[in-house]
Each structure stands twice: as structure tokens, then as C-alpha cells.
Chain A
Amino acid sequence: MSEAAALIRAAPALPCAPWPRHLLTAEAWRALAAALPGQPALALLALWADSGHVHALFRDEDTGAILPASVAVAAGAYPALSPARPAAAWFERMILDLWGHAAEGGTDARPWLDHGRWPVQAPLSPRPVPVGGPPEPPGFLPADGPGLHVLPLGPVRGGIAEPAQLRLAVQGELVVRLETRLGWLHKGTLALLRGKSPRAAARFAARLAGDSTVAHAIAFARAAEAASGVAAPPRAAMLRAVMAEIERLAGHLADLASLGQAAGFAPLPALCLPLREALLEAAAAAFGHRLMMDCVVPGGVAAAIAPGGEAAIAAALTRLEAALPALARLHDGSGSLLRRLVGVGVVTPALTRALAAGGVVGRATGRAVDLRRHPGYPPYDGLDVPLPSRQAGDADARVRQRLDELPHAIALLRELLAGPAEGAIGVALPPASGEGIGFAEGYRGDIWHWLRLDGGLIAACFPRDPAWLHWPLAEAAMAGGAVEDLGLVLASFHDSCAGMDL
């Protein structure tokens, strides 16, 4: 066990299921921050807060141990982690915006989600401050240097895209730096979740990011179940996995299609979108909703597969499987697409490790990160989830990783559907008090939900969308790249905004 992990474990453990949360003194937290640079295996997965504490979720990548750690906020501040973990910077800005806790010694204290348009400041703090005066325009990093000019893009980016503001510092045709400003979609979802029962709050969890509605709903439900001391019945876990794998296939197909569009390679969307459509229609036949929104509920699932649903899924899978060779040929055989992807938007394994990147983005640099291989995630414990196959970390590797994952997900779905279809599909959650963490592997990567229940109602919560760790990588991947590759690189990462704008 590393020194940093030992520091966390030495602190008193508070009840949180399935992993106790360690409450560090400010001194121990500082020691942890100081030890982190020498301990690259301790990955920072999330950083968030409640009214009195700041919480961090770590994973020891050597042992697989999950380590939640907290520190009390004193005089409105806590020791920053961003000098040791670059991914902490956006979280620290978010914590300042939502709760008003300042990261002492942090690398960046500019607002993130708060664009100065809310009626109050620090809306999640016990005493939000009413806002007076006009909003200030968002501050970007200065870009002055010989021959540098700035290309401002967004927040409305044209086409069908989520709003994001981008600033490209450009020298000639080369991008020196890409800086992103998100928060345009901030609705105040965490405030809406507070005081609700998990059942009522699940509708919000399902709408954090529509493209990952199933995965977010699973992670949220598992957190609520852990906090309540119950587990969804095996059949519910099986049905959740069926939905999650359909979402994975549909999501990968959508991402491949957008990549084809960004590359100006029309055959890719022309092949992928009808296949995706068939899957969505099968999902509608099986679960009553094309995206399967609200089909996962705390305690289980809303309904079993409707009559005819299994046949519809099977038919969509057969169709997709039959198209896989054509899909591979499109990618491999077409010089034009390959030429545009190879060596473009590269992120190194060292960088994806430093950012704790999961999902396709992490796996395309050879990282063995897939929560479906993590113990305690039924029904995947009994199923074979293969390791990643790609190393190069460029747009091509991310495309190939997605292509590789299609047949795996098809096989998983067939295995899941062949299992016994008996037993309860849900349990009722008792009105419990407690704390829990839930996770799921979405098609964009690992999703984590933490929540605290007080008498069966949500007292505090935080969902960690994969985009938190992937957007900074897309920024890094653009540095030194060509301006004209921006759309392609962003499409190869597919960094969503809704899930992290909250």
C-alpha cells in the first residue's frame, strides 16, 4: 500500500457503503496532497463538497481499492489538490461556485459553473448570497506572445452540439492552447435533488446526461441502495445490464457517426445511424422508451422486458453483427478516413493516467480501466469483460477501441438474455439514513454517484460524469495540433457537457 493510501486509511472511518469514508485532519490532508506527486497510482476520480466538508474519491490503481476521503472546511477554505492532480482544478472551481469553499493553494480560482447569472452565489451553501450587479464576462487565460492570435468559438457551435465556449490560442495553423469554458447548461440539478426520496430523485439522475441516462440511473440507484442497506435483486441487475449494453452499443454507434461527420466521411454515419436506430427501436419495444429513460429505478427496474422485446433486441443485434465487417472495412479500407485519424489528437498513457481517464479515452491508451471488471458489480462479476486492446492514444485508437467494443457488447447481451428470466425485478427502499457510493460503466466511461440519506430523503449528493476527466484531455490533445482538426479531435473524445454542467 502506498504512503498516500496509508495516510487515508489511517484516518477515522465514517460509515459509507460499500467503502468507508475517511475523515482526515487538515494536517493529514496536506500531507496527502504533498505525497500525491510521488504516488501516481493513487488516481483522483472525483472531488466535491457538502456544506461543511470537501470529499475526494480515490482509486489505488495498484490494488484496485476505492478510498473516499474528506476534510473539514475551516474558515471557508480547504487545502487544494490541484497542484498534485491537474483534474482537481475544475472540481475546485466548481466547489467554490456551488458551496463557496475556497481551495487554498489551488492552481485556478476562476469561476467555472457560475457565469454570474444566478440569483444567488454559492447556491448549495447553507446561506447563499444574493447577487447584485451585472455579470462579469468569463475570464480566459491571457494569450499574448509573438504571432499568437485568439480564435473564440461558442457557446453556440453550430450543428447539433452542446454549448461550450472554446478559446484557441493559434500560431499560424497550429493550436498552441485550447481552453474550454463550460457551465452553460447549469440548471441547479443538485439543489433540485435535495430533500427528495431516491425514487423521486431518480428522474433527475436519469436526466443528467441523456446519452448516458441508463448508466447514470444505475450508478445513482446503486448509491441509494448502498445507503439504504439493500441490493437490487439479481434479475433487476441482469435487466439493468441489458439496458446498459444497449446504451453502450447505441452510444458507440452515435460517436462513430459523429466522427465520420466531423471527418467529412459520409459512409460512416450512413452505416452507423440506421444500426443505432434499430437498437433504439428495440429498446422501445423491450422497455417502452428509446433511450430507456426512467427504466432503472432505485431498488431495481421499472418493468421487465415487454413481450416481443427480446426478439426485437435479438434482431437488432443480428443486424448489427452482420454489419460489423462492413464497418471494419470502412475504417481500415478507406485511406481518406485513416489518414485523417492516425496521429491526430494524441494523449499519452502518462497523461491519461494523471487524469485518471476511464472509458474509451483511457482504454485507447492501454489503460485497464473498465468498471465492469470491478468486483461487486452484478451481473458482470460472472461475465467475461475483455481488457482494452489499443495503445496509441490518437483519434484512430479511440475509433478502433469503440469498434472493438461492439462485438463484446453484442456477446454480453446475448449471454445476459440467455439467462433465466425469473425472480423479483425490484425491492422497496426503506426510509433509511446512511451514505452510499454507486458506480456504473457508461459508454463514455466510469460514472460515480455519492449520496447521503437522512430519513429516506437526500441530504447531499454528487454525480461524477466521465467528461470531468476527459475534457481536459481533449484540451491537451489539441495543443500542437492543427486548427482544422478541432472538430475531429473533439468528436473522437466525445466530451459531453450536460453531465458535468449539473
Chain B
Amino acid sequence: MTRWPRIRAGLRGAPPAAPPDEATAAALAERMAAAAQTRLGRSLAVCFLDAGSCNGCELEARMLAGAVHDLERYGITLVATPRHADVLLVSGPVTRAMQEPLLRAHEAMAEPKWVVALGDCAIDAGVFKGGYGVLGGVDAAVPVDLSIRGCPPTPGQILDALRALLQANATA
């Protein structure tokens, strides 16, 4: 099975309305084109999973999902189960206890599926690197397509990353 190269978005400090990172979008578009079929259309169903975070990343994800940023305007919906999700948005270093629930969520998703690592911890375990209860970043458990830096990333940065996925889909 092909392992897609990981793409890291350096989506830093961009205001919510700014266009998504072009390079990221292009790289993703390549992957989308390579995918045998896409069922994303112009919308994106996102399922959130906390794999070990300090809950700081959740706070900002919740702000994004709340009334401040109108996600639906961009065609992004939050879903409660990975079965209905195109994107798994994962926060935190992956703890050893959460490895299996994360794997199960990932397996439950239909192809094509995308994993977004939310926050510095999700990228490489962040400050928790080396903790005996920590497995590593999200890519220690499942392949990651897009990373969002920050501790925690702002809602605007999370939105930019999701829009990059959307744009990649539209241009694929």
C-alpha cells in the first residue's frame, strides 16, 4: 500500500478569511488526484478525537465549532462518529491507553480518509515527548496527512487547514 508523504502546513497566524496555504493545497491536490475515488464533494465531515491532549487544543477546536466561525459557510460539518467522517482531527500526544481507540476510529472511517494532527503535541508529542505513558505523535499510530502547529493552534489556523483540504478536493 502506498504511504502518502506527510504534508505539514505551516499555517501560522493567518486570519480566518485568508486563502488557504497554496503549497499545502497543491500537495494535497496531488494526493486527491491519486486517490481512486473521492466522495468528499465540496463539503467536509470532520470528526474530532482527543488522543491525549491537555484539553487546550479542544478548547480552540470548540471555539471553531461554535458560533464565532461559521463552519457551515465553508461546507465543513462536525460529525460525532468516525464512520461518517472524511477527516479525523486528532489532538494530543497519543497516549498508550488511547492508541487502540484511535486505531479503531481510523479503521471505522471509509476511504478516502484524512488525518489531521492538531497542535504541537499531535505532531511529535510536544512537551510530553518521552513520557512513559506517551506513544508519540499521531503518526506513531496512524498516517498523518496534514499538521497544524501551535500550542494550541488558534481557531483561525484550524479553519485554514480544513479549508486547505477543501480546496485540494475542489482542484483535484
A residues in contact with B66, CB < 8 Å: 257, 269, 273
Inter-chain contact B130/A192, CB cutoff 8 Å:
yes
Contacts A123-B132, A156-B49, A158-B81 known; A270 to B67 CB distance under 8 Å? yes
CB of A489 to closest CB in B, whole Å: 19
A residues in contact with B147, CB < 8 Å: none
Chain A, residue nearest B154 (CB): A290
Chain A, residue nearest B48 (CB): A160
A residues in contact with B54, CB < 8 Å: 207-210, 213, 498
B residues in contact with A221, CB < 8 Å: none
| B27 in contact (CB, < 8 A) | no
Chain B, residue nearest A203 (CB): B127
Whole-angstrom CA separation of A120 from B57 in the bound complex: 29
Whole-angstrom CA separation of A189 from B53 in the bound complex: 12
Inter-chain contact B58/A117, CB cutoff 8 Å:
no
CB of A494 to closest CB in B, whole Å: 11
| A118 in contact (CB, < 8 A) | yes
Inter-chain contact A191/B132, CB cutoff 8 Å:
yes
Inter-chain contact A187/B134, CB cutoff 8 Å:
yes
| A399 in contact (CB, < 8 A) | no
Cβ contact of B127, chosen from A207, A211, A213, A270, cutoff 8 A: A207
Inter-chain contact A277/B68, CB cutoff 8 Å:
yes
A residues in contact with B57, CB < 8 Å: 210
CB of A491 to closest CB in B, whole Å: 12
Chain B, residue nearest A115 (CB): B97
Contacts A159-B48, A291-B152 known; A210 to B59 CB distance under 8 Å? yes
Within 8 A of B (CB), among A160-218: 160-163, 183-189, 191-192, 203-204, 207-211, 213
Whole-angstrom CA separation of A291 from B51 in the bound complex: 20
Chain A interface residue count, Cβ-Cβ cutoff 8 angstroms: 47
Contacts A269-B66, A273-B67, A498-B55 known; A156 to B105 CB distance under 8 Å? yes
Contacts A160-B65, A274-B67 known; A211 to B128 CB distance under 8 Å? no
| B167 in contact (CB, < 8 A) | no
B residues in contact with A290, CB < 8 Å: 60, 154
A residues in contact with B42, CB < 8 Å: none
Whole-angstrom CA separation of A291 from B49 in the bound complex: 21
A residues in contact with B95, CB < 8 Å: 184-187
| A227 in contact (CB, < 8 A) | no
| B116 in contact (CB, < 8 A) | no
CB of B108 to closest CB in A, whole Å: 10
B residues in contact with A70, CB < 8 Å: none
| A492 in contact (CB, < 8 A) | no
Cβ contact of B62, chosen from A117, A192, A254, cutoff 8 A: A254
Inter-chain contact B92/A185, CB cutoff 8 Å:
yes
Whole-angstrom CA separation of A120 from B68 in the bound complex: 45
Inter-chain contact B58/A160, CB cutoff 8 Å:
yes
CB of B132 to closest CB in A, whole Å: 4
| B151 in contact (CB, < 8 A) | yes
| B80 in contact (CB, < 8 A) | yes
| A155 in contact (CB, < 8 A) | yes
**Chain A facing B: main interface SS:** loop
Per-residue contact bits, chain B 55-76, to A (CB 8 Å; 1 contact, 0 not): 1111111110111100000000
Chain B interface residue count, Cβ-Cβ cutoff 8 angstroms: 42
Contacts A115-B97, A160-B61 known; A210 to B67 CB distance under 8 Å? no
CB of B10 to closest CB in A, whole Å: 19
| B133 in contact (CB, < 8 A) | yes
B residues in contact with A161, CB < 8 Å: 50, 58
| B109 in contact (CB, < 8 A) | no
| B99 in contact (CB, < 8 A) | yes
Whole-angstrom CA separation of A273 from B59 in the bound complex: 11
A residues in contact with B62, CB < 8 Å: 160, 254, 258
Cβ contact of A162, chosen from B58, B63, B101, B133, cutoff 8 A: B58
Within 8 A of B (CB), among A115-161: 115, 117-120, 123, 155-156, 158-161
Inter-chain contact A187/B131, CB cutoff 8 Å:
yes
| B137 in contact (CB, < 8 A) | no
Whole-angstrom CA separation of A291 from B119 in the bound complex: 14
CB of B16 to closest CB in A, whole Å: 11
Whole-angstrom CA separation of A273 from B67 in the bound complex: 6
Whole-angstrom CA separation of A131 from B93 in the bound complex: 22
CB of A48 to closest CB in B, whole Å: 17
Inter-chain contact B63/A189, CB cutoff 8 Å:
no
Per-residue contact bits, chain B 18-38, to A (CB 8 Å; 1 contact, 0 not): 000000000000000000000
Whole-angstrom CA separation of A169 from B103 in the bound complex: 28
CB of A317 to closest CB in B, whole Å: 18
Chain B, residue nearest A120 (CB): B132
A residues in contact with B127, CB < 8 Å: 192, 203-204, 207
Cβ contact of A187, chosen from B61, B78, B80, B128, cutoff 8 A: B128
| A276 in contact (CB, < 8 A) | yes
CB of A85 to closest CB in B, whole Å: 27
Query: What would be 28 A-B contacts, judged by CB atoms less than 8 Å apart?
Result: A115-B96, A115-B97, A117-B96, A118-B133, A155-B98, A156-B49, A156-B101, A158-B81, A159-B48, A160-B50, A160-B65, A161-B50, A162-B53, A184-B52, A185-B98, A186-B97, A187-B52, A187-B133, A189-B131, A192-B130, A204-B127, A209-B54, A210-B54, A210-B55, A276-B63, A277-B68, A498-B53, A498-B54
A161-B58, A184-B101, A273-B66 known, 5 other contacts, Cβ within 8 Å: A120-B132, A189-B128, A192-B130, A498-B53, A498-B54
- Name the 4 nearest CB pairs between A and B, nearest first: A210-B56, A158-B80, A188-B131, A273-B66
